[in-house]
Amino acid sequence: MDIIETELSDSDQNPHQSIFESVHHFFCNISEVPTRVLVSGLEIGTDWYPPKTVDGTIVTSFEVHF
């Protein structure tokens, strides 16, 4: 079985070296998809992977605009 690897990007516009960063940014710009980040104490997460909380910890939502 062959292993498929994604080509890395050396562009400073893709700080995580993923070629999909530019495509993701472009898609969000044209679709205006609502995106948010959840913050709780020192934890950061999303709706799919929420931040860890301790009883009584407040989770704050921040809208992300591209």
Q: Where are the alpha helices (DSSP H) in the chain?
A: 20-31
Both tokens of 47, joined, read: 């709706």
Spatial contact of 59 and 53, defined as CB atoms under 8 Å apart: yes
Amino acid identity, residue 56? G
pLDDT at 6: 80
How confident is the chain (66 residues) per 10-residue block, as mean pLDDT? 83 89 86 90 90 86 85
The alpha-helical segments, DSSP class H, found in 9-48 are: 20-31
Q: Please indicate, yes or no, whether the overall pTM of this predicted structure exceeds 0.75.
A: no
Summarize pLDDT for 39-52 with one digit per residue, the tens: 998 899 999 899 98
